[in-house]
Structure formats: C-alpha cells, structure tokens
Structure 1
Amino acid sequence: MNGKKSQANYTVKQLSGLAGVTVRTLHLYDKIGLLKPSVRTEKRYRLYGEEELLRLQQILFYRELDIPLRDITDMLNDPGFDLIKALEGHKAAMKARKKRVAEILATIDKTILKLKGKTEMTHEELYAGLPKEKAAEWQKFAKEKWPEQVAYGEQMLLKMDRNEFQQLQDDFKANMDALVALRRQSPESADVQSEIAKHCRYIQQFWGRTDDISEAYKGLGQLYVDVPAYTTVNGASDKDFAIFMRDAMHHYVETEM
C-alpha cells in the first residue's frame, strides 16, 4: 500500500462521522460481509477506501428503500451489479417516494384545517372582487400562457384558509399601491427594487412555486405591457405604469435572480 492510498483511507470512526452511521453499524456490516474494510492493520484497525465509500452509499440508498440487509448483500455481491444502473434505479424510486410523501403531506394539511375548523378556499373566492367576465378572461389567458404555474398555484391557494388568503391579497394590494406611488422614480432605484422584491415574492405565493421563476417573472413583466387590463391605476389601464413595472421587473431578474 503506497502513501497516497493510505491518505484516501478512513478509519471506522471517520467513516461513521462522514456517512452518518454508527460505529456499531459498520462493525455489523463487516461481520455479515456486507461492507468489508479495504485494509486491516497489524493492530486490527479497519480502514476504508473509495470503493468502500461507494459501496456504503449503495447500502444506505437501499436501506432508505427498506430493503433487508441480506437482499442488499446479495445484490451488491452479484458479479453483474452495475453501479450506474443502480443509481438510476435509486433516483426513480426516490422520485416515486417523494410523490407519495407530497400526497400524504397534502392529506395531513387538509386534516389539520378540518380539525381546526377552518375551511379551504373555493375557486370562486380566488377571483372574488373581480367582475365574473373579467375573472374568467384573465384565468383563461393565464392558463394558456402558464398552464403548470396556474394549475399548481390555484391548488396551493385553495389550501389556504380565508384569512390567510385575504392577508395575501391585502399585502399584494399595498405593494402595488407603493409601486404606483414610486412610478416617477427610475425602475432601477433602490426604493423601487425593494418593492419589486416584495412583488416577486407575492407572485411566487400566488403561483405556488419556490423554485427558479426568473423567466416566468420576466414574461409577466412583458405581459403587463402587452395586455393593458393587467395594469390599471384607479380603475383605468395605464401604459406608462405597465412599462415602468416591466422595466423594474426585468432589472430585478437580471441583477438579483
């Protein structure tokens, strides 16, 4: 064993800390032939190298999927075992589990709301305060433009209780009022960008997304200009304000997102 090889080795204690398993577990894996150390020193110290780290990763993935140790041993000791195919299988299994967990969490949320005596929103309440014809027109346009965001956003909003949804609406209106008041400033000014940051967060809440929405947010800014009904001031369409919003939103995306 050369010096370089020994530097890549881990003691039982080091591997335990690295992988988040107990020393006792590693001793058990050694005993049953599931994970043997690459080296045993004259003083009987166990040392684990890169190959053993990858094997332990596989073991932990399989354990996460509740596969018995005996079955894991048989699979990993199979001469035809393919690490890449195994990782792809883990990924697919984890995605399926993630979907199941999301469904369970949604059910739990609904149960909690019911036990607290709260009722979820209805589709009609999502668009309360807007003329029915206009609400239907906006909803149709948005669903054609961003079907996934709108569908997911409505699903998340419908889970809110009425007080939470009203607070979100009130906060968003206050934010838009503040932006109207700032419309004479440069879209790139600190005050404007501070309010635009809030605006972006509210849009994310309405859309129900927390991942990267930079392109969709830029698209919304352009939509404000293209569809005058989306940017009204005192009940009337305002092209200048729409342009102000678009420029401020695009600057925010380019500098902060």
Structure 2
Amino acid sequence: MELKINEVAKLTGITVRTLHYYDEINLLKPSKITEAGYRLYDEEAIATLQQILFFKELDFPLNEIKDIITSPEFDRIKALKKHKELLIKKRGRIDKLIKLVDKTIEGEDNMSFDEFDMTEIESAKKKYAKEVKERWGSSDAYAESEKKAKGYNKEQWQQIDEESKKILKAFADNMDKAPDSKEAQELVSNWQNFITERFYKCSNEILQGLGAMYSADERFKKNIDRNGKGTAEFMSKAIEFYCKK
C-alpha cells in the first residue's frame, strides 16, 4: 500500500504542510517520490508517523522524537505497549467523566471534582517520558545537553534565560530588515554560538532543523512570538539563509 501525501493528510488529520516540514527536517521522509513529483508513503512510513503522533501526545518536541525513533535501540513494540498503558488510563478518566455527566443530567446532586483530576495521567506521562529518554534518547547532542544542564545552578539558569531573551528580542527588533541582511545573519551566528556554549554543539545541520521547527511547531512559535508577532518566522528564514551559505 502506498498513499499520496494528500491521502496521508486525510487519513491522519496531519496537514500537508506539516508532512512537508517533517520531510525537510528528516523526521519522516516519503517512501519514494515519483517522476511527476508525488510523495508516496508506504506502510512502514505510516507506522513511523503513528509513532511520531504518539510521542507528540506525550509533549515530546520534534527534535527529541527524531532522536528516539532513529536510535538503533528503539523498539517499536515496547513503545506501543507503553502508549497503550497511557491510553487506557485516559480512557478510564473519560469514562468517569461521562458517568458524572449522566448523573448530572439525571438530576443527581453531585459536586465531585475527582473525575477531572489529571494527576495520575500526568504522573504516568512523566514516568514514561523519563523511561524513553533513558532508553532511547542517546544522541550526542542530547547527552551533551543533559550533562551541561545538570551542572547549572539557579543563577546560571537565570543568566542563560537573559541571554536567550536578549538575542530573541534582537531578532524582533530587526524584523524590518531582510532575513539575509548582515544584521540578521549576525544574530543567527550569535544564536548558534549561544546554543553551542550553553547546551550542545550546534552544527549547521542541527541549526537548520531548529530553524524550521521555530516556525512550524506551534509551541516554539508561540514562545518566540512573545517578542513580537512574526519573530519566529523571521528567525526561521534568517537561519535558512545562514545555513545555505
């Protein structure tokens, strides 16, 4: 079975634009591209997409998902079993909420809020995320970042946060310039050096993936755009020009 990209989008609810983006960052490549330029996805690609969506459900960022599913030690069946455990917990919570709604409709005076409690599910998600990172999150960048992060104290984290905000604010302040302008390109260089010094060696390849993520991943986009609407898109384009040089 091979599906065209628009068929995959219809099947999964993922937009065509998102699938293009997953291709760009090497998270999910089409199984083949026809002479006419159509992207085709086979069963293995669809299974990989399913894994990506499962991990997104657990709030994993795309760069970590990529590290996990491309790890030589990654076991898809074990991952699915863990996903199943979490889904069963979610189903149990939804069943309780439905019962509460039915009782309320029937006129029963029930002021219980226990059914809304997400503590057990959130605890399970955190536990699973920890297990996943320990088992499969073994990329050099991830390991280096974890090592550095553990060594920072409160004051150092505050300084890192200030450095990050300063660079992001500078991107926002320079949005009136072209993404390939001298000012924008210097800011990209500053951002790359900041990541390398504070977290892990940020190669152009990694930087390019991050840049694409800033404009495509809503969580990153929302956070960066706090400095000014359009900052994430401008930053992404500036990084794209920088990495093509």
TM norm structure 2? 0.42
Which protein has the larger Cα radius of gyration, Structure 1 or Structure 2?
1
